[in-house]
Structure 1
Amino acid sequence: MSAAILRHPAYLEWPADPRDRLPLTLWDAQSIAEAVGGEASCDFQVAGVEMDSRDVVNGDLFIALKGEAMDGHRFLDKAFENGAAAAIVDRPVDYPHILVADTTEALKALAKAARSRTEARIIGVTGSVGKTGVKEAIFASLERASRGAAHRSTRSYNNHVGVPLSLARMPARSRFGIFEMGMNNAGEIEGLTTQVRPHVAVITTIAPAHIENLGSMEAIADAKAEIFSGLGPGGIAVIPADSEYFDRLKDAADKLGAKIVSFGRAPHSDVRLLDAIPSANGGSLVTCEFGVPGVDGGRLCYTVAEPGDHWVINSLAVMAAVRAAGGDMAAAGLALAEMGGLKGRGARHGIDAPGGKALLIDESYNANPASMRATLAQLGQTPSSRRIAVLGSMKELGDFADKFHGQLSQPLINADVDYALLVGDEMRALARELGKPAFNSLGKPLEWEHCSNAEEAIARLEEFGLIAGDAVLVKGSNSVGLGKLVEHFT
C-alpha cells in the first residue's frame, strides 16, 4: 500500500481500538506456556481448545485431563488424527505439546489467563430453569450487535470443568462473553463465578431443582445468589421481580454492593412486561417498558419465536442483561424473533404420521417441577388434533419426589392431554394420582400408561400410534434417556 494512501484522511481518522493490539490467533505456544507454567516442545498456534478427543477439529489444543476413571492421555492419537495442533500433557509425547505437572490445574490457569487478557463485558447466567436458553438468547443478541465479537459457553458447559474450558476458548478480541453456571450443591457457583468474574450476573428463576441436596427453596435461592460474589465494583445483578424469593436475592446482591436490575410483571420491575399476545409464528408479540421513560428508558415491542409464557419472561431477562452489558436492545429483539428451539430444550420436529405430519416437541434434556408445568401449559396452547405427553421422571428431588410428581396431575388436566405416557420409577406417584376415581370423574377421561424406561416408552407410543395433527411433548430429566425416543421418532 502506498504512503499516499496511508496518509489519506480516512485512514488518519480511523478510530483506534485497543483490541487491535490483541492477537488474532486464540493461543500460541509461548502464551500457553506462560499461562500454565509449562514447557513448550515447539512453536505452534491453536484456534480452539477441547478436552474430548471425539470433538477435536483441525487446529485445536487438546487438554489431556485425568479423572478417577479416565485418562485423556489414552486418546492423544485420536485427538491428533482428528486434527489437533498440540496438546497439554503431564508426560513427554511425540506430538507438539505443553508439558505441565497437572493438566486439570493447567486448564484452570489457561482459563484465568483468558479472563485476565480480555476487555470484554462478561455476563454470568444461572437459575433453576431456563439458564441455557437465556444464555443462548443473550449470546445471539450480543453477537448480532457486535458483528460476531461475542463468545459463550457451548452446550451446557456449566460445571467445574465446563466453565474453565469455556473461558479458555474465549478469543482475546471478544467484546462480550456469556457464561452459564450450574450447581448441584451449595458453594459450587461461588467457585465458578470467581473464575468468570462477571460484570453482569443473571438469575433466571428459583425453582425446586436439586432440592434433594439443598433441602429447601431458601437454600436453593442462596446457592444461586452465590453468582453475585464474582461481581466486581459496579457489577449488576439481574433478578426475577416476580419470584417469591426476590427480596432474598436482592438482599444478597445489596450486601455485595451490586446494582439491582429486575425483570418481570411486577410493578417494581426495571424491565417490565406491559403486554404479550400470540404471534403468527406460534411465539409471542411482547411489549416491555424499561428504565425511566424520557430519561434513560422507554418501551420496546418485539417478537419472541419460542412459544410459551415462560419464554415471554425469559425474553425480559435477556433484555435486562443486554441493556446492563451495554448492548443493543433492538438487536436483541431481532435475535429473539429468529431463535429456534435447542436440541432437548424446546426443539420442534415435524414427523411423518398417517395422513400427514405430527409435531414432536423435544424437551428431553432436563426437567423439574417448574419447567414441567411451563411446558405442559405450552402443550395446552398448541393447536393439535390430539395432545400426547411423554413425561420422564424428575431427578434430584429427594424426599419431595412423590409430592412434586403427583402434583403434575392438574397441569395435565389443564393442558387437555389425551394420552400421557409416564416413564421411570418416580412417575409412579403421578400414576397413583391419575388412577384415583375422583380424577377420572373430572371432564374428559385421560388415557395413560406407566413404563419403566425409554425403550418401553418407544414401544408403547408405537402401539398407541401417531396420526397427522398430533402434538407430542417429550419431557424428562436427561438420565431417563428420552432423547432415544426423540431420535427414534424423528
Structure 2
Amino acid sequence: MTALWTSAQAVAATGGRATAAFAATGVSIDTRSLQPGDLFVALKDLRDGHNFVAQALEKGAAAALVDRVPEGVAEDAPLLIVPDVLAALTALGAAGRARSGAKVIGITGSVGKTSTKEMLRAVLEGQGRAHVAEASFNNHWGVPLTLARMPVDSDYAVIEIGMNHPGEIAPLARLARPHVALITTVAAVHLEAFENIEAIAHEKAAILDGLEPGGTAVLPADLDTTPILTGKAAQVGAQVVLFGAGAEADFRLLDVQLKRDATIVRAEARALPLLFKVRSPGRHFAANALGALAVAQALGLDLSVAALDLGRWQPPAGRGMREVIPLDAVQDEMAFELIDDAFNASPTSMAAALEVLGAAEPTDGIGRVARGRRIAILGDMLELGPDEIALHEAIAKHPMMERIETVHCVGPRMKALWQALPRTQRGEWHETAPELAARAHHLVDAGDVVLVKGSKGSKVSLVVDALRKLGQAGAARSRRTP
C-alpha cells in the first residue's frame, strides 16, 4: 500500500523529530479502530493518548505522534516527537491540504451537516475519487485529522465544520480552504453560547473566511438570516448559489412528496427541470439534497448523474435511519418500524422528524393493539439557552402531533412537553434514558412506527438499542427498509 506519510514528510510538516524512519498508510487517534500501518496520534482529551501508545505499536502502528516518550515504550520505538500533539496534527492536516489537488467542499450548518456530507459522498464517488470526513469529525481535532488522512490522489474532499461556541469555525475553514462552502441552514441550536440566531448566522458565515479565491458559497435562500450569509459572501468576493423554495433560489424546490420509503422531489436548477429522490422520507432531506446538487454543479459535475447517484443515499444510524424490527421468528409481518434519529436534536430537526413520523403509515390488525400506532420517544434537546423549557413545551403545538398516538419523554426538559400534551397522548416520562429503555417491551407492538429523537447527551440511543433487542432471532432478521 502506498505510504500516506513518510517520516521525512511528517517531520517536514510538523517540525518534529523522528526516532526512526517509518512509512504510515493511515492516521488514527483510537487504538480500537487502528489499522496496521497507521500513524497513531496521542491526543489528550478525556484520556491521554500517550497511555495507549504501547498498545498502538503492538497492534502494528507504523509510529506514534507524541510530545514525550511514554512510559513503557522503548527509546528506539518509532516515534515522532513534537512540543504539542494537537498543534502537530493541525500542521499535518495543513500539509495534507497543501499537497492535494482535490476540489474541497466545506459544510457547516445548524442541522443537516452530516446527512448532507453523506449525500455528497454518494454524488462524488460516482464521478471521481472522493475523500469524505468520517462520522462527525468536525471540530478542532476532527478537521485536521480528516485533512491529514486525505490521499494525495483525491479528486474531491468533503470537510464538515461544526461549532459550539463563537470563533470556532473561521480557523477550521482557513485550515480546510474549501473551493465550495455549503451552509445547510441556520437554526436555534447552541443558543446557550450565542445571544441570538443572528449571532449564530454570523458564526456559520465565517466558513466563507476560508474560501479559496473565486470560490462558491452555496447558501439557503429562505431564512430570515439569509441576508447575513449573502452579505458575508459579498464581503469575501464569493460567487453565490441560493437553494430553497423561494423564487429567488437558483436551485428551487417546487414539490416534495413524502412516500413510505422515499422522498420524491421536483425542482429547478437555474430554470432547468430536475426530478430526483432520496431513499428515506423527509422534507429536510429534500432541502439538503438540493444543496448537495447545487454543490455538484458548482464543481462542474454532471448534474443528471449526480441526481441519480443521490438516489442511493440513505440516512445512517442515529440520523433518521429506518429499519424493521421483527417481533416473531416465524411471522415476518409481526414487526414494527423504527426510525432512529437519536444522534442530535434541535427545534428545527425535531419538527422535521415529527413530520416524517406523521407521514409514516402504521399497519393495522397485526399486533395486540388492533390499530397500528405512530409513537414518538423524545429526549431532551440540549444547549438551547434560557428559553429551553418553552422550546420543549412548544413541540406540543406542532401540527403533526395530531397524527401521533403516544409520546414518551425522557429528561427534565422534555417533562415540559409531556405536561403540555393532552392526557390521552401522554405516554411515560422518565428522568433518564436507561429508565425508559428498561420499559422498551411495554412501549411498542407489531404494526407500530416508532420515532426515537433527542440530543446525544440525552442518551436516547439506549432506548434505540433496547428496541432493537426486541427483535427475534437477532440482527440477521432485522432489516433496513428498502
1:432 paired with 2:414, answer: no
Q: 2:387 aligns with which of 400, 415, 420?
A: 400
- Which amino acid in structure 2 is aligned with residue 261 of structure 1? V
Letter in 2 for 1:90: D
Q: Distance in 1 between matches of 2:445 and 2:355?
A: 22
Q: Secondary structure at the match of 1:54?
A: coil
| Corresponding residue of 2:479 | none
| Structure 1 counterpart of 2:122 | 140
**Counterpart residue number, 1:131:** 113
Partner of 2:50: 73
Is the aligned partner of 1:473 residue 2:451? yes
Structure 1 residue 340 corresponds to structure 2 residue 322 = no
Distance across 1 between alignment mates of 2:15 and 2:191 = 40
One-letter code aligned to 1:99: I
Q: Does 2:460 match 1:486?
A: no
CA contact 1:186–1:214 (8 Å) conserved in 2: yes
Aligned residue for 2:17?
Answer: 39
Tell me how far 1:112 sits from its aligned partner: 0.7
Q: State the SS of the aligned residue for 2:39.
A: strand
AA aligned opposite 1:391: L
The answer on 1:316 being equivalent to 2:278 is no
Give the total of aligned pairs: 450
| Matched AA of 1:135 | K
State the Cα distance separating 1:233 from its structure 2 match. Answer: 1.4
196, 207, 224: which one aligns with 1:227: 207
- The alpha-carbon deviation at position 467 of structure 1 amounts to 1.7
Q: CA deviation at 1:24?
A: 4.4
Task: String of CA shifts for 1:365-407, please: whole Å, max 9, x gaps.
Answer: 1000000000001100001120110000000012110111011
- Aligned counterparts, 1:14-413, within 5 A: 24-67=2-45, 70-92=47-69, 93-94=73-74, 95-146=77-128, 149-278=129-258, 282-291=261-270, 298-353=272-327, 356-384=334-362, 385-411=372-398
Alpha-carbon distance in structure 2 between the residues aligned to 1:337 and 1:268: 26
Deviation at 1:352, TM superposition (A): 2.3
In 1: Cα distance, 2:400 partner to 2:425 partner? 8
Secondary structure of residue in 2 paired with 1:422: strand
Identify which range, 336-345 or 201-210, moves more after superposition: 336-345
Give deviations 1:425-448, integer Å, cap 9, x for gaps: 0112112211xxxx56xxxx4132
- Give CA-to-partner distance per residue, 1:270-328, whole Å, 9 cap, x none: 1112333345x62122222223x5xxxx3222221121111111111110111112223
Q: Is the 8 A contact 2:358 2:400 kept in 1?
A: no
Kept in 1: contact 2:256–2:286 (CA 8 A): yes
- Deviation per CA, 1:242-280: give whole Å up to 9, x if none: 11211121111111111110001111111112333345x
Deviates more, 1:379-388 or 1:350-359: 350-359
Q: Over aligned residues, Cα RMSD in angstroms?
A: 1.7
Contact 1:58/1:82 (8 A) holds in 2: yes
Contact 1:210-1:396 within 8 A present in 2 as well: yes
Kept after mapping to 2: 8 A contact 1:406/1:433: yes
Contact 2:374 2:449 in 1 (8 A): yes
Structure 2 residue runs without a partner (length 5+): 363-371, 469-482
Aligned counterparts of 1:328 and 1:90: Cα–Cα separation in 2? 47
Residue pair 2:118, 2:313 contacting (<8 A) in 1 also = no
Residues 71-125 of structure 1, C-alpha deviations (whole Å, 9 max, x = no match): 2111012212333121112224432221222211110110110011011111100
1: CA distance, partners of 2:251 / 2:227:
17
- Please list the CA deviations of residues 343-368 of structure 1 after superposition, one character each: whole Å capped at 9, or x if unmatched: 11111121123661101111111000
Letter in 1 for 2:373: R
Residue 478 of structure 2 corresponds to none
| Residue of structure 1 in register with 2:473 after alignment | none
Maintained 8 Å contact 2:441/2:467:
no
Q: CA deviation at 1:173?
A: 0.9
State the SS of the aligned residue for 2:439.
helix
The residue identity in structure 2 corresponding to 1:91 is R
Does the residue aligned with 2:413 lie in a helix, a strand or coil?
A: helix
Deviation of the 1:51 alpha carbon: 1.1
Aligned partners of 1:476 and 1:66: how far apart in 2? 28
The separation in 1 between residues aligned to 2:373 and 2:79, in whole angstroms, is 58
Q: Which residue of 2 aligns with 1:16?
A: none
Whether the aligned pair in 2 keeps the contact of 1:381 and 1:415 (CA below 8 Å) is no
State, as a whole percentage, how many aligned pairs show the same letter. Answer: 42
Instruction: Return 5+ residue gaps in structure 1 as ranges.
Output: 1-22
**Shift of residue 180, structure 1, vs aligned partner:** 0.5
Tell me which moved more, 425-434 or 80-89: 80-89
For residues 108 and 155 of structure 1, what CA distance do their matches in structure 2 show? 19
**Which sits farther off after the overlay, 87-96 or 245-254?**
87-96
